[in-house]
Structure 1
């Protein structure tokens, strides 16, 4: 599975094609569905482009995207940098239960963040699937000690900028005994090497302007569609080796 991570935490002027508004996110998703993508990760924004966890903005982003890609899995973030107070963060997430057509299918929870288990519980209460973000070995050990929460769709093994496939393999060794599907991906300079590594290992992976602004050859990418096209070619190439 190739997931498209359309915008992430990047500021609106970081790339001219970065989708910020619900309409921009929906247009990108529709273009990528035409390429065969069916899994999307979104960071909803408010009217000035700041990331939010508030129900109205989340519902608007998800429902507008869903109207154009009704069969796709739509996921959002619960990152602590958006709402640092873990109690308030869990309250906001639990409120997503009543969003109807604007309720996301899944949401990512970063295991290293304070209050992550409360956020997981809020997603369970809202009947939203869980993606567990694991950024480093200590987070992997934390997850192993806690056990895999009910409702987990996948683990996001996230290799940080400046790291390599060595760090990827260390995460995988710790996470694989949990038995959950693993989506392995990098960020910035680790994005393309880790995507190739995931393809060689036949693991799920992801790409998009959240993870990199560059094509594999180092040139500035045109948009999410160009990144996905490169990723699909890389996955196909590794599949025939």
Structure 2
């Protein structure tokens, strides 16, 4: 088995220093965390930015600042921005962010886009016209069915097939299990460019199974702060290191 493609998601939209003191909040902290994770084997960064109060933001100016800093410090690491609403933003805000920023790579939830289908058409058209790579966020098989429908209708343009399967949720949601991968793959037969992320203590077990099946992996404090025994990781880089050790152990 070849080494899988690993993306690190070091903070997310909801967690802060109170959840883990090593969780990066500022752009400087996020870039430093990305560099440490890259040294351990992560190839890409899933980027969230925060406003002055530490809240999740879809601010093109903050994104531009973070992207510029990543390009200066770590040009060899790919960067994907998020358009996650986190219950704070509407589709119009997500579209406006992409229109202003025009990033190389963005994650987009089909479930969130479905709140305003007419704007979804514009957003997906923008991504096609500007060459913005999209990774479709799928929370369940209903999301996968919606994506297939939009692809058939031409709402999602050809060549935009990349997906990420989300296993589990935050602490108050269902637990992640490696068995949660199969329904997604069954719902999207033949999908080639797929990744998973998994919430909670089973994160690494789920990611190791995805690696065995040929998927890409997203790891980090956005999804899990602790290892399989419930012990907190020292930081995001430690989680990346432990994940690769788990995968290597599974191969032996």
- For normalisation by structure 2, the TM-score amounts to 0.85
Which residues of structure 1 form unaligned runs of 5+?
98-103
Does 2:172 correspond to 1:160? Answer: no
SS at match of 1:188: coil
Pairwise CA distance, 1:192? 2.4
- Specify the alignment match of 1:208 in structure 2: 220
> Which of structure 1's runs of 4+ aligned residues deviate more than 4 A?
none
- Specify the alignment match of 1:107 in structure 2: 106
1:42-74, Cα deviation, whole Å (9 max, x unpaired)? 111112211111210111112112211101110
CA distance in 1, matches of 2:235, 2:77: 20
Does 2:237 correspond to 1:225? Answer: yes
Select between 157-166 and 3-12 the one with higher mean Cα deviation. Answer: 157-166
2:204–2:246 contact (8 Å) kept in structure 1: no
CA RMSD of aligned residues (A): 2.0
- Give 1:1-241 correspondences, 5 Å limit: 1-13=5-17, 14-81=19-86, 83-97=88-102, 104-113=103-112, 114-115=115-116, 116-147=120-151, 149-150=157-158, 152=160, 154-161=162-169, 162-177=175-190, 179-240=191-252
Change (3 A) 1:119 1:79: farther
CA distance in 1, matches of 2:30, 2:246: 24
SS at match of 1:185: strand
SS at match of 1:34: helix
Pairwise CA distance, 1:91? 1.9
1:134-153, Cα deviation, whole Å (9 max, x unpaired)? 11010011111112634537
Select between 26-35 and 144-153 the one with higher mean Cα deviation. Answer: 144-153
Matched positions, count = 233
1:93-152, Cα deviation, whole Å (9 max, x unpaired)? 11113xxxxxx4311001111245543333334432111111101001111111263453
CA distance in 2, matches of 1:48, 1:156: 29
Change (3 A) 1:96 1:174: same
CA distance in 1, matches of 2:29, 2:213: 33
